[in-house]
Structure 1
Amino acid sequence: MSLPEVHLVAGSAAEAVRLAPVALAMREQQRLTAVPLATGADPDSVGRTFAAFGLTPQITLPSGTGQNETMSRFDELWAARTPAAVIVRDGLAPALAAFWRRVPVLTIDAGRRSGELGSATVHEAQCRLLAQVTTVHLAATPLAAMNLLDERVIAGDTLLTGGTAQDAAEFLAPATNAGRHRVYGTVVLGVGVERAQAIGPAVRYLAGRHRHLEVVRAADVAPGLEFATLLAQAYVMITDDEDLVEESLAAGCPVLMIGPASRHSETLHVGSTRLVDPDPATIASEVARLFESRVRRDAMAAGGNPYGDGLAAYRVAQAAAALLGHGQFPDPMPAHSTAGAVR
């Protein structure tokens, strides 16, 4: 008897990183058949990321020119090959297509919100709409779960699983030599081109004082194992990208974060990130402090990763199986549980 198919829809490398451990957990639990699905503007990049975990997308479906066309493509796919459930992260179009086909939708990293009063970004609006068609909300943090309750999501439909980026980092750790070759002076810059140019003076100033400094732009590194290796070896990350904050902490790399404190209050609380203004003088000063004292840098890393404990993928896989009548829902992640250590 064949196991129910669950389609794991990844539209970016960041989503593939978070869904790959779920596919592996499903394979281990042997209750469901995980079907990795590569979509988005660059499905080849998604496929390479899955490959780092020994997975090959069974379905490749490039996104359309807009939400409507993308949703139509998924509707055609699922009319011919209807899954028992669909797991997404940010994929509104596939979630809507599944919803209209009466296919249950599970959303990982559910409940992430900017926390900024009056926020009206497109992404924020899509996340709130996604919550309306989600069957089971799999939240990474207690704050995310509370956000869903504030939006009147039924408490019984929300499960605190933790984030699966930690699971991904632990799976890839043997291949990346994580914790054994941390390179002093390697700074990863995970910001857009315009912001990178704006803080260029900080980089030049630091290069003049620290000849060992090596700055690597995250955008210049291939996704998957190569990027995971970079994070496992980096001394510090400077970024305004929410995904890179979580992935860096999962790899034991502390973060100097540019942007609103409300987006990552959990990491600021444990001390593994530090908020910096996007001006050259401030960034140069903060990086110099970490270079001048390894203790300061390691104290940040010791805060760990408040987004997961390395067991999130198993909870997600078990929750999907329970939803489809195969076993019981897992216990939630303990609210105090974090992963990470000085590396």
Structure 2
Amino acid sequence: MKVLVALGTRPEVIKLATVIAALKQRVEVTVCASGQHREMLQQALDAFGLRPEHILDTMSPGRSLNILAARLLEGMDAVLEQERPDWVLAQGDTTTAFCAGLAAFQRQVRVGHVEAGLRTGDLNSPFPEEANRSLLARIASLHFAPTRLAAQALGAEGVDPARIRVTGNTVVDAIHQAQARWPAGIPLGIPTDIRARLDAGPAVLVTCHRRENFGSVMEAFCTMLARLSERHPELQWIFPVHLNPAVREPVHRLLGGRPNLLLTDPVDYHTSLYLIRHARLVLSDSGGIQEEAPTFGTPVVVMRQHTERMEGVHAGFATLAGQDTEVIERSVDAWLGDEARRNSLRARPNPYGDGQASARILAALLDEPCEDFRG
């Protein structure tokens, strides 16, 4: 069996690295990097020691999603023609994932969708991710749902239950692998400015990069963070700022120079996990952080109108605060003011996975029996 794994963004690398490692034990594997997020992609590839056999040149600044999709389809078609795989694996909801799946489907190659079934029910939130993953569900041969809730969403859309496997989320596998490589429980190469802030006092981690939060929403978030950092001078606020100019410009303009608020470039995967583990609280619009934080018992205030990851909310790890800064502030203050509530999270299992997702995906591709994740 030959499997082509397509990836193009940092989260895809993180969530597919352990799958690639598991596949290589039993089948022939080829990795294709789409080039969708070239700078941050390479950082993640280095973290896992991955060297793709194919690297496409598809992303240009200022180009539309349609142009990106056209270039991805053309590039993936050439790779499929050369490699002729039995399966194409795509992860999540990116333009890379959808185009890899569509290109495979149109060449009658079976598609396996990792992290299938996540839904908000609103095609515009997040945009275009909700559409990408919904469309992938129509053409995938196997759906690797991370949780039972995701499997139920697929079933409600008419997907044959025989083609759904509840695997757990591969991001939990990645966390286990990463932590195993930390000498004395601390990753190598933590930037000195971040280490100094962690040594200076308890920290709050902030990330924000979603398209629906650009513009006036991003500016409102920044104004809110300025208030929070002033109201909580005992805390170190650490904000790795996304490379997108729509994020960097307002963040640096409105938040630069504050004594207890560190604006830094995007951090590597190991540093990111270490920050989550040591944060008192995370404010984020990231999907991956919602899945990662429960492993460390760290609460998350989700700065989005919808989340396709309600398992963390239901399990008490996350608060879905929306985009209203007053609601976000109240949620932040509620978590910061309730130490007992925060401490209670440490004994709870991660509702997103148990570290065995990659093994379950391999078993499904080989048509071997494997018990579903039941977290």
If the TM-score is normalised by the length of the shorter chain, which range does it land in? 0.7 to 0.9
Tell me whether 1:92 sits opposite 2:109 in the alignment: no
Q: Within the alignment, does 1:110 sit opposite 2:126 as a pair?
A: no
Matches within 5 A, 1:206-217: 206-217=228-239
* From 42, 47, 51, the counterpart of 2:46: 51
User: Following the alignment from structure 1 to structure 2, what is the Cα–Cα distance between the partners of residues 119 and 46?
Assistant: 24
| Match of residue 4, structure 2, among 3, 7, 21 | 7
- Are the structure 2 counterparts of residues 224 and 62 from structure 1 closer, same or farther at C-alpha, using a change threshold of 3 Å? farther
Please report the TM-score for the alignment, with normalisation by the length of structure 2: 0.77
Which residue among 74, 77, 98 is the counterpart of 2:76? Answer: 74
Aligned CA distance change for structure 1 residues 280 and 93 (closer, same or farther; 3 Å): closer
Alpha-carbon distance in 1 for matches of 2:343, 2:57: 42
The answer on whether the counterparts of 2:166 and 2:372 sit within 8 Å (CA) in structure 1 is yes
Task: Please tell me whether the aligned partners of residues 297 and 348 of structure 2 are also in contact (alpha carbons under 8 angstroms).
Answer: no
Query: Structure 1 pair 20/142, CA: closer, same or farther in 2 (3 Å)?
Result: same
Q: Following TM superposition, by how much is the alpha carbon of 1:103 offset from its aligned partner in structure 2, in angstroms? A: 1.6
- Aligned to 2:234, the other structure's residue is in SS state coil
> In structure 2, do the counterparts of structure 1 residues 215 and 172 end up closer, same or farther at CA, with 3 Å as the change threshold?
same
Q: Is structure 2 residue 203 aligned with structure 1 residue 186?
A: yes
Q: Tell me the CA shift for residue 303 of structure 1.
A: 4.1
- Identical pairs, percent: 27
Structure 1 residues 121 and 280: alpha-carbon distance in aligned structure 2, compared to 1, 3 A threshold = closer
Q: Once the 2 structures are TM-superposed, how far is the Cα of residue 86 of structure 1 from its aligned partner?
A: 1.2
Judged with a 3 Å threshold, the aligned counterparts in structure 2 of structure 1 residues 120 and 15 are, in CA distance, closer, same or farther, namely closer
Relative to structure 2, which stretch is displaced further, 100-109 or 281-290? Answer: 281-290
The equivalent of 2:191 in structure 1 is: none
Structure 1 counterpart SS, 2:89: strand
65-74 or 13-22: which moved more? Answer: 65-74
Q: Which residues of structure 1 form unaligned runs of 5+?
A: 323-327, 338-343
Letter in 2 for 1:45: M
Q: How high is the TM-score relative to the length of structure 1?
A: 0.84
Report the residue type matching 1:63 in the other structure.
Answer: T
Shift of 1:45: 2.6
Alignment deviations for residues 157-178 of structure 1 (CA, whole Å, 9 cap, x no partner): 1111011111111111144537
**Superposition deviation, residue 33 in structure 1:** 2.7
Q: Write the distance in 2 (CA, Å) between the matches of 1:55 and 1:237.
A: 29
- Cα-to-partner distance string for 1:18-47 (whole Å, 9 max, x where unaligned): 0001112223xx211333322132234323
Match of 2:253 in 1: none
Counterpart for residue 370 of structure 2: 330
The residue that corresponds to 2:261 in the other structure is: none
Structure 2 gaps, min length 5: 60-66, 188-194, 243-264
The one-letter amino acid paired with 1:287 is V
Range moving further from structure 2, 240-249 or 6-15: 240-249
**Aligned equivalent of 1:34, options 23, 29, 33:** 29
- Runs in 1 of length 4+ with deviation above 6 angstroms? 117-120
Instruction: Please give the alpha-carbon distance, in whole angstroms, between the structure 1 residues aligned to 2:306 and 2:74.
Output: 38
The verdict on how the C-alpha distance between 1:41 and 1:214 changes in structure 2, with shifts beyond 3 A counting, is: same
2:319 counterpart residue number = 274
Tell me how many residue pairs correspond in the alignment.
Answer: 324
Counting only pairs closer than 5 Å after superposition, residues 246-257 of structure 1 correspond to structure 2 as: 246-257=291-302
Residue of structure 1 in register with 2:227 after alignment: 205
Q: Is the 8 A contact 1:38 1:47 kept in 2?
A: no
Amino acid at match of 2:175: A
- Following the alignment from structure 2 to structure 1, what is the Cα–Cα distance between the partners of residues 295 and 32? 24
Contact 1:115 1:262 in 2 (8 A): no
Is residue 289–residue 296 contact of structure 1 (8 Å, CA) maintained in 2?
no
